Amino acid sequence: MNEVRRGTTLGKQLQSLIERKSFGTNMVEERTLAKMRLREILIRYPEKPMFVTINTVAPRSYTPRQLLAEIERKTKIGNSWVNNEIKHMRRVLAVR
């Protein structure tokens, strides 16, 4: 909702989906919006290891740029972040 209030490109796309009541009906659009949102969030962080996986045999830390690369390559960790962002967006919209 912050993106909508700020009038960003992402916010405008999300607002359009909300107005059409079509958010949640097209998984491709949801994934695209989630990736865009994650990109906008992660580029604000300094480029140092900040994110750690703990549910693997060997925990690994990621910088924001590395995490974005994982998301673009659609790796297991990247897909996990995108799926969690979609769940978050759905929860936010359900509350409104």
Give pLDDT tens digits along the chain (96 positions).
666 677 777 777 777 766 666 555 577 788 988 998 899 899 999 999 888 877 767 788 899 999 999 999 999 999 999 999 999 888 877 654
Which among 5, 25, 4 has a CA at the least distance from the CA of 14?
A: 4
Owning domain of residue 49: 2-95
Regarding pTM above 0.85, the answer is: no
Q: Which of 35, 24, 42 is nearest to 85 (CA)?
A: 35
**pLDDT for position 56:** 65
Domain count, the chain: 1
In this prediction, residue 91 carries a pLDDT of 83
pLDDT at 25: 56
